[in-house]
A and B are shown apart, each in its own frame.
Chain A
């Protein structure tokens, strides 16, 4: 095992950078003020929060007033979807989303469905793309909102927000995007991209956990979903998490400063891994290749074995990844994203997500590839249920598979 684990789970969370931590530090003890307070400590905190807000807004071409800090992207998604629904007229009771959303979108939408909204879940193609014509067909006079994930958290597919947003705009439908994975990896400028609501967080870009924002285009009607004091333009009550906001802005500043080089570098790591792993027999990539895929993401199915067992063996060998398998969850249902792109449930269970940050190296990729090959061979040697290796024959009154040839 390497001295230091190889961390390929950056779509889950990223390590915070030292400069981010340094930027946050003063706001825990010395500059601890509440931005709502009227004394100097309060003013100091308020100024810092406003500067962070302005800096974050600039990355997407928004104005500071259009940025509402939240406790992360999940809360931003809830505020966008529930807030838009609560603020809508009785005539607007239809929502469109997709079958590849994160639970932070699917579950608020399902809540609205229980409350009487009708919901259309758009299909995707085998690479995870939405057909704009299907969106067009789904829109009705009562459609309020279309919510779509920008860069998919499991299979990396990047949706064309421009063409989808144009359709929404032509039809008077609000468009929300969950950009938790794509922020600082794929540019969005709200002057040109017709999207009204954008959810973002900090911990996917080497910032702190527990902080995010919702961009709300000026003029978009959103109603608060939590009661309290009138912080964040009376849309998100509760004292602002000042250190986290400062850390978020610093993490984003660093990420956007290095965006061109860093995304190219991460994409090279991604492709280096994919090119080697798809050489393993009975293995395929989920999601597209090339520029329409998040530079941070590779998702691969290793048929005939269980993803959770792969993950555990890799973890023992110091390679940390995640799995589309549900064997580590109580429900035992596999990833709905993988089944939405047409994977059989059985194959979805054999899927592993490798996700990268700029802190990873080509050497780590090569070491991880060797470990993956070792683990896949080991687990396949344990099974007797590989159709290409084991033929079904009749024996002793019962059907069973007999070993056909030497296993790898």
Chain B
């Protein structure tokens, strides 16, 4: 049903947890009907690059796997690059996701965009 990569990230999510010295913390919640997936994202900067992304989530397997994939993709990226990562990009890293899990990859992308934009705005 799901790719090996998806199951790997779901079973062993990378970078999960708080980041005590985070430069920014943001939250996103799924805005459609019914779903209650929610992500809090923590970002640590190194100059204009993201040094580390961590997160906490209440979510389904798709959201957990997507956050994990997103956190590994974003590390070392320029902020403006990170803000451009899309749900499709995350789905690609996960080896593809079924249509019903697109809300998860999109939510993880939204979390990364939100925290990146906050930092971009702050850094002027």
Residues of A within 8 A of B (CB): 304-306, 308-309, 312-313, 316, 325-334, 345-346, 349, 382-385, 395-396, 398, 400-401, 403
Contact = CB atoms under 8 A, between A and B. Distances in A.
Interface string B52-85: 0000111111111000000000000000000000
A326 B34 CA distance: 8
B37 A306 contact: yes
B36 A346 contact: yes
B25 A400 contact: yes
A308 B34 contact: no
A309 B61 contact: yes
B73 to A, nearest CB: 19
Interface of B: 7, 10-11, 13, 16, 18, 24-27, 32-38, 40, 56-64, 99-100, 103
Given A385-B38, A385-B56, 13 more contacts: A308-B60, A309-B59, A325-B60, A327-B62, A330-B100, A332-B103, A333-B33, A382-B16, A383-B58, A384-B18, A385-B40, A398-B26, A400-B25
15 contacts: A304-B58, A306-B58, A309-B64, A312-B10, A316-B7, A316-B11, A330-B99, A332-B35, A333-B34, A382-B58, A383-B58, A395-B25, A400-B27, A401-B40, A403-B18
Contacts of B56: 382-385
B25 A327 contact: no
B62 to A, nearest CB: 7
A407 to B, nearest CB: 10
B36 A345 contact: yes
B28 to A, nearest CB: 12
B35 A382 contact: no
B34 A334 contact: yes
Nearest to B101: A327
A316 B2 CA distance: 13
Given A325-B60, A382-B16, A400-B25, A332 B40 contact: no
Nearest to B100: A330
A331 B40 contact: no
Contacts of B25: 395-396, 398, 400
A331 B25 CA distance: 30
Contacts of B36: 306, 345-346, 349
Contacts of B57: 382-383
A400 B18 CA distance: 12
Contact of A308 (B26, B38, B61): B61
Lowest 10 CB-CB distances: which A-B pairs, in order? A384-B56, A327-B60, A383-B58, A308-B60, A332-B34, A333-B34, A332-B35, A312-B61, A346-B36, A306-B60
A401 B26 CA distance: 11
Contacts of A331: 34
A403 B62 CA distance: 24
Candidate in A304, A308, A327, A400 with the most chain B CB atoms within 10 angstroms: A327
Contacts of A306: 36-37, 58-60, 63
A382 B64 contact: yes
B9 to A, nearest CB: 12
A345 B36 CA distance: 8
Candidate in B7, B26, B35, B36 with the most chain A CB atoms within 10 angstroms: B36
Nearest to B67: A382
A194 B60 CA distance: 44
Contacts of B60: 306, 308-309, 325, 327-328
